[in-house]
Structure 1
């Protein structure tokens, strides 16, 4: 079963039916042929002002980037420490 993608305008209109018109979430979801859980997720996102949503998007992007770096830096540090240990285990002519 494939996931259906909805345009942002469609999502906003669905959220408005619940938040502004006061219609029950279950009724709106059933009428639109979608799950209640998806509609609740849209309400969580689209009930915020657009400026706040943009800040949240920027924050999410930064968190994903940090996650990628978190995988990169330990490997780099391990390689650097290994190189230092190898260099230190070699005979030292400076002493």
Structure 2
């Protein structure tokens, strides 16, 4: 750990060197323009994918037992909770 701390100390004091001698500032890109637009495009694509799934196939991820006719006179053999309540039913 001491060697790592010394390495970081010397790295921050001197800076890292470039063995090729090439100007490294030439290959840098600006964060705000490039990555902001790239993340925004990815967000829009995922949003439209979610919108397509919700509007075109709304029952794709639903439980098949939701489509059975309800009979108020008979209790189901196995009451199945939703997946986000499973931790409470395992007690």
Q: TM-score, normalised by structure 1?
A: 0.32
Q: For CA contacts below 8 A with separation 6 or more, give which structure has more relative contact order.
A: 1
- Greater CA radius of gyration, 1 or 2? 2
Q: TM-score, normalised by structure 2?
A: 0.33
